[in-house]
Amino acid sequence: MIGRILILSADFPPAGGGVADHTLQLARELSTYASVSVLTSAGLQPYPTNYPVQARVGSWQELNALSVLIQQSAPEATLLWQYVPHMYGRGGVNSALPRLMARLKATGRQQLVIAHEIAAPISFWPHRLRYSVAHRHQWRQILKSADAVGISTEAWLDEWSHRMPEHASKLFLAPSPSNIPFLPVAADHRALWRSQRGLPAEAMILAYFGTLGNRHLDWVFETWLRAQRRDRPVALVFIGGSPEYPVPNRFRCLFRSLGYLPRDQVSFALQAADVLALPFTDGVSERRTSFMSGLHHGVATLTTIGHNTGRILQQGKFFAAVPATDPAAFLQRALKLFDDTGLRATMGTVGKDTYYECYDWPVLARAIWSRLTQLQS
């Protein structure tokens, strides 16, 4: 019987970033199954929680010191590692981490790893090539020591199941749920939200949410400009990253770059949108929390299929998607969504239902708990 779980994560709120938020929420969910605590980096003043958070790790490269801290923090606990290479070393390289995990395995300590990222893409730049090769070596050693490994992307899950079939039975899909809580709104929310931001009451809204990296931003702007109709203005709203783009003067009144907002304000903005545009250069995947937030908030979401898109999402009918190399198809799908109120409503409803069934926090916690209990049998 699992009595205690110790989550190890270099990032935790108030530190920013998706893994910090993920750790906060995951610990809350797992607390319904067992006694949970978190061990994180020193120097933080951790966000108030109803479970213990110890900000004590001065260096994630000091094998012996980290081993002592783990023993002091929770000597009998099952360990859950939050893994993103860049959190644990310069360039994401940390030879001490896999050695520590091997040492813990030798003592019989059970370890589960949640891999949000695995390795940097192979690059022809010498220093990046060194990092990406080191990441893969590091990852192989971690796979050998872990008892169970949740991987955030189905495409990566399939890849590593084939690369290291001797460890395939350890692997399972661990999507990254939405970090934006859904807040109920009034019936007139959409009209009020537009009015508060000086947008025409009849305007439709094309929204973009998240950082600016690995996205076809030019597709978003081209779609916005081409979607305009004489009887139907379309506003473009950026939530998160603020792009530098030469907006034509006649369309400035329909452009809003809101920057990074508190979570409640993000929820309100998403619920005011008609279409959420997320054209990822590498394709949508289960680790894209902006995509998950769109589903969670019932927004008709248009995205892309690429090399990081697994089979389930490639066949998904609860969002709209085109190849990550086809801007013309992206534009046409967006125009179809703007022209079809019923299609947008149905897609939003089915997307929200699918999110709660397959991707929400309780779903992830159950999958992790199931793996942990299997280790006890």
Cα–Cα distance for residue pair 277/291, rounded to 1 Å: 9
Burial state string for 126-157 with b = 16 or more CB within 10 A and e = fewer than 16: eeeeebbebbbebbebbbebbbbbbbbbbbbb
Quickly name the fold that domain 4-177+360-376 has: Rossmann fold (3.40.50)
Task: Return the structure tokens found at 24.
Answer: 């906060």
d(CA 128, CA 132): 6
Q: Which residues contact 75 (CB under 8 A, 6 or more apart)?
A: none
| Domain spans of the chain, in order of start | 4-177+360-376, 189-358
pTM beyond 0.85: the answer is: yes
**CATH classification of 189-358, choosing from 2.40.50.140, 3.40.50.720, 3.40.50.2000, 3.40.50.620?**
3.40.50.2000
Would the CATH topology of 4-177+360-376 be identical to that of 189-358?
yes
Query: pLDDT value at position 278?
Result: 98
What pLDDT is attached to residue 227?
96
Token pair 């860049």 is at which residue?
86
Query: Rounded to the nearest 5°, which phi and psi values hold at 172?
Result: -150, 160
- pLDDT string in tens for the chain (377-residue length): 678 999 999 999 998 889 999 999 999 999 999 999 999 999 878 888 999 999 999 999 999 999 999 999 988 899 999 999 988 888 888 999 999 999 999 999 999 999 999 988 888 887 788 888 989 999 999 999 999 999 999 999 999 999 999 999 999 999 999 999 999 999 999 999 999 999 999 999 999 999 999 999 999 999 999 999 888 999 999 999 999 999 999 999 999 999 999 999 999 999 999 999 999 999 999 999 999 999 999 999 999 999 999 999 999 999 999 999 999 999 999 999 999 999 999 999 999 999 999 999 999 999 999 999 998 87
Q: What are phi and psi of 217, to 5 degrees?
A: -65, -35
pLDDT in the model for residue 1: 66
What distance in Å separates the CA atoms of residue 322 and residue 49, rounded to the nearest whole number?
41
Task: Give yes or no for a contact between 192 and 171, defined as CB atoms under 8 angstroms apart.
Answer: no
Measuring CA to CA, which residue among 160, 148, 77 is closest to residue 118? 160
Position 63, amino acid: L
Cis peptide before 248 (omega within 30 of 0): no
According to the model, what pLDDT value does residue 2 have? 78
